[in-house]
Amino acid sequence: METITSIPDLYCPYPSRMSPHVEEVAAATDAWMKRFALFPNEQAFEEFSNYKMAWMTCRTIPDGDLPLLITINNFYSWLFVLDEQLDHISPETAAIRDKNFLQNFISGFVKILRNDHFVSVAEGGNVLAAFSDIWQNLIPASRATWQCQFTISLKATFEAAIWEAANATSKTPPTVKQYMRMRPYFSGANLGTDINELAVGSSLPVYVLQDQDFVRIVDLCRRVVCWANDIFSLAKELAHGDNHNLVMVLKHNEDLTMEKALNEAARIHDYEMHQIEQLRRKLPDFGTQLNKDVKVYLDGLETMVSGFFWWSLEDTPRYMSHLQEKVV
């Protein structure tokens, strides 16, 4: 048995700001979660509330208006409910990790997204009805092209969740390459980068979005959020029987001690953070106005990265409170 008492210092050069609406957002989402009865009991709701999800949203979108912040926080909280059930491996959560259940769930939310189909609790159950409500609020806040991309991204997230659940069920550890490819999807980090367009209120032309270095920057922003989260959440996830974590994948595949695996995960995180800075300096000249728009967009991604980072360290007890727990 090993005891995790500390984690490596991670490189994050971006400052973090907090929206002044954070308390209002928290109260609105608490009421919304209760309206859709997304928790089995009051104790589960209180545990969720203690995680301070609104502080995460309001760090990642510090300049968002109140309606957008509430909608995005509702969405992140909805994802949290599903993630908790997927992460906690137990007989009670086996049903949601079943491949057929997840495929049917994907079909349900794709129907909502593609057809703007409103789902009531009676028709689709609490979880799909809650998502339907989120989508009704996202439609007027977004462009049709964003909605198409978001549909693809959410489908990719849950398809990756099927892959993750299958590994957990079969107790088949992924390779490092497999894990690093899939992690930004089953974590939902791809959804965070999609939401950036709404956060900054600016869209970019396709030829910018498909620029090789720009694509790599977006991918790296997703990845560093995941690697930091894996380091922060290691003790919590192991306590719940979840080995889908970069540290544990490195430990298993490269036969490392826990300390060396943690340090290697930190090295990967820091290296990719530096890559983001280097690639920003390499971007082509798109013209005066478009250069400004690109800067706003990428500054927004950096705000997202720092928001997740500092929320994990300073606001929520979700991760740091587990550091003293013993793990195998």
Express each pLDDT in 158-192 by its tens digit: 899 889 888 887 888 899 999 999 999 999 999 99
Residue with tokens 């005066």: 288
**DSSP states of 182-229 as a string?**
HHHHHTTHHHHHHHHHHHHT----HHHHT-HHHHHHHHHHHHHHHHHH
Q: Regarding predicted confidence, which is higher, 105 or 317?
A: 317
For the cut 70, the answer to whether the pLDDT of residue 92 exceeds it is no
For the cut 70, the answer to whether the pLDDT of residue 2 exceeds it is no
Calculate the alpha carbon distances from 48 to 45, 208, 225 in Å. 5, 39, 21
Report the pLDDT value the prediction gives residue 239, as an integer from 0 to 100: 80
Beta-carbon-side half-sphere exposure of residue 301 (alpha carbons within 13 Å): 26
The top-level CATH class assigned to 17-321 is mainly alpha
Task: Look at 92-106, 177-191, 255-269, 275-289 and tell me which has the smallest mean pLDDT.
Answer: 92-106
C-alpha 218: how far from chain center: 14
Task: Look at 182-196, 227-241, 273-287 and tell me which has the smallest mean pLDDT.
Answer: 227-241
According to the 3-state scheme, what is the secondary structure of 95-127? CCCCHHHHHHHHHHHHHHHHHCCCCCHHHHHHH
For the cut 70, the answer to whether the pLDDT of residue 94 exceeds it is no
Q: Let me know: does 284 contact 198? Beta carbons within 8 Å.
A: no
**Among the listed residues 3, 10, 8, 9, the one whose alpha carbon sits nearest the alpha carbon of residue 260:** 8
Report the pLDDT value the prediction gives residue 105, as an integer from 0 to 100: 77
Q: How many Cβ atoms from other residues are within 10 Å of residue 31's Cβ? A: 10
pLDDT tier at 325, thresholds 50, 70, 90: very low
**Among the listed residues 72, 100, 96, the one whose alpha carbon sits nearest the alpha carbon of residue 82:** 96
Q: Let me know: does 185 contact 219? Beta carbons within 8 Å.
A: no
Q: Let me know: does 33 contact 60? Beta carbons within 8 Å.
A: no
Query: What whole-number distance in Å separates Cα of residue 302 and Cα of residue 276?
Result: 9
- Please state, rounded to an integer, the average pLDDT across all residues of the chain: 90
Report the pLDDT value the prediction gives residue 108, as an integer from 0 to 100: 82
